[in-house]
Amino acid sequence: MSQINAYRRKFMAAVGGVAVGGLASGVILRSVEASDVPAKPADQPVSNKVRWGMLIDINRLTDGGVAMVEACKREHGWGNDPKSRPEQQSQWMRTVKVTDKLTQHSFTLPVMCQHCEEPPCVDVCPTGASMKRADGIVQVNKHICIGCRYCMMACPYKARSFVHESLTDQRPHSPRGMGTVESCNLCVHRIDKGQLPACVEAAPNAVIFGDLNDPNSRISQAVKTLGGSQIRADLGLNTGVRYLGL
Amino acid sequence: MSSKTIVYSELRSSKAYYILLGICAVLVGLGALSFFHLEHQGHHVTGMNNQIVWGLPHVFAIFLIVAASGALNISSIGTVFSKTIYQPLGRLSALLAISLLIGGLAILVLDLGHADRLLVTLTHRNTKSIFAWNIWLYSGFLALGALYLWTMMDRKVNRFYKYAGFAAFNWRLILTMGTGSIFGFLVAREFYTGAVMAPLFISMSFSLGLSVYILVLLASAALGSREVGDLIVNRLRYLLAIFIGAVLFFELARHLANLYVTEKQGVEAFILKDSRYAALFWVGQIFFGSLLPLFLIFCKKFVNQRWAVRLAAMLVILGGFVQLYINLIGGQAYPLTLFPNAEVSSSFFDGEITQYSASIWEWLLGLGGFALSVLILLIGLQVLRFLPESLADEVIEPLSQA
Amino acid sequence: MPLLSNIKSLLVLALFAIALVGCDAGVPEPNLAPAKAKAAQCVEPTADMRKNHMKYLLVHRDKTVIEGIRTTQHSLNECINCHVAPTREDGSAVHYTDEKKDHFCSSCHSYVGVKLDCFQCHADRPQVMENINYQHKLSSNTYHLSAKNAPPELSDLLLLGQSQQAQGVTQ
């Protein structure tokens, strides 16, 4: 499904290249006047008027997203749980190499929590620890996570990891601990301060981050003109993370 | 209720009884040890990982839970379907159901990453979660099972026997559907998705519950030197054959439906043809777990042969365990499809088939839960009157007319 | 016999007293120095904090995780930043689980025997390992400054146009 969309989009982009190009730079020019993540007063709750989203242009990610993954590791302190075997290590984000079996067309993209509008992990969680914030960020409320791993069974993107051992000296802004499930949370602690997620900062030329509900945001303008495919769009989850060039 | 003719009594203690009790206590102790080890170390000591998130303990747990709901069937047949010949078996059936469920739940709970936060499931509930429903279904099952037992064992409340039986029977059907739906509603896992998981699990509960029941009945009779006649054993025997057939039917329906859908052909080929799960499926589940027991049940030479019934029940249990193992572990070992018709690879094992081998801790936890079930059963049999003094043909005969 | 029962209860009392004496020998001295060190600068009065700190933390944690409210007054991170020195004088790390029980929280919690699992996930000392100024040149603050004042960067302008060229080539 997503491949058909991708094909159609590329086709249209090729046909109407000049016109769209003109519009595109207009999009950019307008966007730099306002920041992508407006700072929110610390004592105000997040609002459902906002829906955070990310558009990743994989053709412009020259490293396939390695820098983004590294930034995520540093920001959240995962990637080296000393006692866990490789299959047990947490991976909030990874680069996936995809090769079409017939055409041999190949590309690499970063995959993490796709921040679905209808997240299966939230549906299945018995305690509500797996949750979606008002602003569309899907995360684990580790305070009430009992470690049943049902969300890991339910996630179609394999976005979640289970912490298999006790940890110390976590990042103060990113708690993670034994017996709970964890995943990309779009760097909530940064967004709440009006900063971009760490991975977005690590790939500023290939990723646009912003509010999908705001028609004037840079990301809304970009997805409107260029589209933005979802991984497993057939599941109808309406993801917040979108890709160009799938 | 046929309490006029049937006399129930406690299981008298014997040397063999205490040896069995001791073995179970040791196994429960080892299971507890395993739990404390996991609680302290974390799950890195197990064979489970971020691909196979549910491992051997869950196979044990789901086996016990499914068998629990099936074990209650024997008394339901007596109550709900008014087959009076089954009524003397009712008390043991309800006790067995309760003890199996407690053992299974113990494993599930003790395998949690945060077993200490179990109370959170009561204070925070997500009504959309099948797990959350199951917490209520399990508690309700225990309560209804106990209530049902009470109506069977206390003359004063005997008039509520039918109602309790109906309630328990319906509840257990919903419970097993709930257990099946834990898997059936997972859109991400190709091997599980589908409504057929609910009836498949129900049919499994029938055959597994009955097999466990047959073994327990014959063993407790041997322990207490009680007579069990061929009449009742043959009834259970042919019932088992029907249940084995039902499991095969739903399994067939499921695989045929999957094979017709292109996107599921990969995982079907994986399970049925290309992996070690294929051998488990054809040899373990189908041959030893289904066909051989059917042969043992129907072969004319083995009529009235107790060993054949025992062996058939054991094989069905083995086959059911293997079936759950294939479903749980095999279903997770097959990679998720991120991009159809494409090869994917990553540092997170995308597109790779995951290997799983259980550690000693998972075995101990699973066996510990199983032993806990047997322990509860043994203690129950000794303190209250669950077992009929005799199930000899002359005792059962009048009941079978009804 | 009232006399006999009196004697009995006296005996029991005596035994109980002996048992208590035995216990007394085993009670450790609480190390309250870390807890008292910064009491005066705390976000709430000391008496209130002694009684209610866990309530403040519980309310705040849900507000933070669920609603994204990140005020500092009742934030666990701020407790740690103020009350826990990352290292001892000899340079060794201070952890909640240390035998010495000189971590701010454990000094009291181990004494009263109240288990807490905050630090299974949360850092139990301020971060010292690195200055997280590792980010890309568009680190968040400068990015937002530049977004308001500075002219758009060339890479920004090319963002969409170039991707189309790339796509055109693949056709």
Where are chain A's structural domains?
A: 2-244
Instruction: Confirm whether B34 is domain-assigned.
Output: yes
Is residue A158 within 8 Å of B141, Cβ to Cβ?
no
Q: How confident is the model at residue A5 (pLDDT cuts 50, 70, 90)?
A: low
Q: What are phi and psi of A55, to 5 degrees?
A: -115, 120
What's the mean pLDDT when you consider all of chain A? 87
Amino acid B402: pLDDT: 55
Of B42, B49, B350, the CB nearest to A87: B49
- SS3 label, residue C151: coil
Number of neighbours of residue B4 by Cβ within 10 angstroms: 6
Q: Which two tokens stand for residue C135?
A: 């980010």
For the segment C82-104, the average pLDDT, to the nearest whole number, is: 89
Q: How confident is the model at residue B146 (pLDDT cuts 50, 70, 90)?
A: very high
- In the predicted model, is pLDDT for residue A33 greater than 80? no
* A157 CA: distance to closest CA in chain C (Å): 23
C-alpha R_g of chain B: 21
- In the predicted model, is pLDDT for residue C92 greater than 60? yes
- In the predicted model, is pLDDT for residue C11 greater than 80? no
Q: Which residues of B touch A157 (CB under 8 A)?
A: 336, 338
CB atoms A143 and C166 under 8 Å: no
Is residue A50 within 8 Å of A211, Cβ to Cβ?
yes
Inter-residue long-range contacts of B276-284, CB under 8 Å, 24+ positions, other chains counted: B277/B326, B277/B329, B277/B330, B277/B333, B280/B322, B280/B325, B280/B326, B280/B330, B281/B322, B281/B326, B284/B318, B284/B319, B284/B322, B284/B323, B284/B326
Instruction: Confirm whether C4 is domain-assigned.
Output: no
Interfacial A residues in 166-185 facing C (CB < 8 Å): 166-173, 175-180
Mutate which: A118, A158, A167, A237, vs B, most B CBs within 10 A: A158
- In the predicted model, is pLDDT for residue A227 greater than 80? yes
CA end-to-end span of chain C: 107
Q: Which of C75-84, C126-135, C151-160 has the highest mean pLDDT?
A: C75-84
Amino acid B19: pLDDT: 96
Number of neighbours of residue A32 by Cβ within 10 angstroms: 19
Amino acid C137: pLDDT: 30
Closest CA to A26 of A221, A228, A242, A223: A221
The burial of B302, by beta-carbon neighbours within 10 Å (0-12 exposed, 13-18 middle, 19 or more buried), is given as: middle
Mutate which: C59, C65, C69, vs A, most A CBs within 10 A: C65
Q: Which two tokens stand for residue A167?
A: 């940890």
Contacts of B145 (CB under 8 A, 6+ apart): B72, B94, B97, B98, B101, B168
Measure Cα distances from C113 to C28, C99, C116, C121 in Å: 12, 14, 10, 20
- In the predicted model, is pLDDT for residue A24 greater than 70? no
Mutate which: A91, A93, A98, A151, vs B, most B CBs within 10 A: A98
Amino acid C39: pLDDT: 79
Instruction: Confirm whether B187 is domain-assigned.
Output: yes
Amino acid A73: pLDDT: 95
| Residues found in chain A | 246
Task: Please state the domain count of chain C.
Answer: 1
Q: Report DSSP letters for B66-134, one per residue.
A: HHHHHHTHHHHHHHTS--GGGGGGHHHHHHHHHHHHHHHHHHHHHTSTTGGGTTHHHHS--TT-HHHHH
**CATH of the structural domain A2-244, one choice from 3.40.50.1820, 3.30.70.20, 3.40.50.300, 2.60.40.10:** 3.30.70.20
CB of A149 less than 8 A from some CB of B: yes
Instruction: Confirm whether B178 is domain-assigned.
Output: yes
Contacts of A165 (CB under 8 A, 6+ apart): A81, A82, A83, A84, A178, B41, B42, B43, B44
Q: Which residues of A touch B354 (CB under 8 A)?
A: 87
For the segment A176-194, the average pLDDT, to the nearest whole number, is: 95
Amino acid B397: pLDDT: 81
- SS3 label, residue A202: helix
* A52 CA: distance to closest CA in chain C (Å): 14
* A181 CA: distance to closest CA in chain B (Å): 9
Q: Which two tokens stand for residue C19?
A: 């048992």
Q: How confident is the model at residue A4 (pLDDT cuts 50, 70, 90)?
A: low
- In the predicted model, is pLDDT for residue C132 greater than 60? no
- In the predicted model, is pLDDT for residue A10 greater than 60? no
Amino acid C23: pLDDT: 57
Is residue B339 within 8 Å of B351, Cβ to Cβ?
no
pTM for the whole thing? 0.86
Measure Cα distances from A187 to A92, A196, A197, C126 in Å: 11, 8, 5, 19
Smallest CA–CA distance from B118 into chain A, residue: A146
Q: What are phi and psi of A108, to 5 degrees?
A: -125, 140
Q: How confident is the model at residue B89 (pLDDT cuts 50, 70, 90)?
A: very high
Half-sphere exposure for A60 (CA within 13 Å, toward CB): 22
Closest CA to B326 of B45, B47, B62: B62
d(Cα A55, Cα A136) in Å, to the nearest integer?
15
What's the mean pLDDT when you consider all of chain B? 93
d(Cα B250, Cα B196) in Å, to the nearest integer?
7
* C153 CA: distance to closest CA in chain A (Å): 9
- SS3 label, residue A72: helix
Smallest CA–CA distance from A158 into chain B, residue: B336
Q: Is the dihedral of CA A62, A68, A74, A79 positive or negative?
A: negative
Listing from the earlier edge strand, what are the strands of the sheet with A93-100?
A: A106-112, A93-100, B342-346
Interfacial A residues in 103-132 facing C (CB < 8 Å): 131
Amino acid B12: pLDDT: 87
CB atoms A226 and C134 under 8 Å: no
Q: Which residues of B touch A88 (CB under 8 A)?
A: 43-44, 48-50
Is residue B220 within 8 Å of B382, Cβ to Cβ?
no
Is residue A135 within 8 Å of A37, Cβ to Cβ?
no
CB atoms B114 and A179 under 8 Å: yes
Is residue B205 within 8 Å of B171, Cβ to Cβ?
no
Interfacial B residues in 150-189 facing A (CB < 8 Å): 182, 185-189
CATH number of the domain within which B200 lies: 1.20.1630.10
* B192 CA: distance to closest CA in chain A (Å): 10
- SS3 label, residue B154: coil
d(Cα A224, Cα B276) in Å, to the nearest integer?
48
Percent of chain B having pLDDT more than 70?
98
Q: Which residue has the tokens 């960067």?
A: C153
Amino acid C168: pLDDT: 37
pLDDT tens profile A132-175: 999 999 999 999 999 999 999 999 999 999 999 999 999 999 99
CB atoms A91 and B135 under 8 Å: no
What kind and span of H or E run contains A100? strand A93-100
Q: Which residues of C touch A178 (CB under 8 A)?
A: 120
For the segment B189-210, the average pLDDT, to the nearest whole number, is: 93
Amino acid B58: pLDDT: 97
Percent of chain A having pLDDT more than 70?
86
Amino acid A26: pLDDT: 36
Reading phi first (left if > 0) and then psi (alpha if -120 to 50, else beta), residue C91 is in left
Q: Which residues of C touch A143 (CB under 8 A)?
A: 61-62, 65
Instruction: Confirm whether C137 is domain-assigned.
Output: no
Is residue C25 within 8 Å of C18, Cβ to Cβ?
no
CB atoms B113 and A146 under 8 Å: yes
Amino acid C27: pLDDT: 67
Closest CA to B315 of B271, B282, B284: B284
**B230: domain range?**
8-336+344-400
Q: How confident is the model at residue C51 (pLDDT cuts 50, 70, 90)?
A: very high
* A53 CA: distance to closest CA in chain B (Å): 20
Q: How confident is the model at residue C5 (pLDDT cuts 50, 70, 90)?
A: low
Q: Please state which of the ranges A115-129, B304-318, C153-167 shows the lowest mean pLDDT.
A: C153-167
Amino acid B31: pLDDT: 97
Amino acid C158: pLDDT: 38
CB of B262 less than 8 A from some CB of A: no
- In the predicted model, is pLDDT for residue A75 greater than 80? yes
CA end-to-end span of chain A: 11
For the segment A88-115, the average pLDDT, to the nearest whole number, is: 96
Amino acid C4: pLDDT: 58
d(Cα B359, Cα B203) in Å, to the nearest integer?
30
**C103: domain range?**
33-121
Neighbours of chain C (3+ CB pairs under 8 A): A
Q: Which two tokens stand for residue B278?
A: 């294929």
Question: DSSP assignment, residue A88?
Answer: G
Contacts of B300 (CB under 8 A, 6+ apart): none
CB of A29 less than 8 A from some CB of C: yes
For the segment A11-20, the average pLDDT, to the nearest whole number, is: 39
Amino acid A25: pLDDT: 38
Instruction: Confirm whether B37 is domain-assigned.
Output: yes
Amino acid A6: pLDDT: 53
pLDDT tens profile C99-119: 888 899 998 898 889 998 899
Instruction: Confirm whether B3 is domain-assigned.
Output: no
CB of A9 less than 8 A from some CB of B: no
- In the predicted model, is pLDDT for residue B3 greater than 50? no
- In the predicted model, is pLDDT for residue A218 greater than 60? yes
* C54 CA: distance to closest CA in chain A (Å): 14
d(Cα B165, Cα A72) in Å, to the nearest integer?
57
Amino acid B304: pLDDT: 87
CB of B338 less than 8 A from some CB of A: yes
Percent of chain B having pLDDT more than 90?
84
* A103 CA: distance to closest CA in chain C (Å): 13
* A198 CA: distance to closest CA in chain B (Å): 20
Amino acid B187: pLDDT: 86
Task: Please state the domain count of chain B.
Answer: 1
CB atoms A126 and B113 under 8 Å: no
Amino acid A35: pLDDT: 72
CB atoms A87 and B187 under 8 Å: no
Instruction: Confirm whether C112 is domain-assigned.
Output: yes
CB atoms A126 and B129 under 8 Å: yes
Q: Please state which of the ranges A183-192, A195-204, C128-137 shows the lowest mean pLDDT.
A: C128-137
- In the predicted model, is pLDDT for residue B25 greater than 50? yes
d(Cα B108, Cα B102) in Å, to the nearest integer?
10
Of A35, A59, A189, the CB nearest to C163: A59
CB of B37 less than 8 A from some CB of A: no
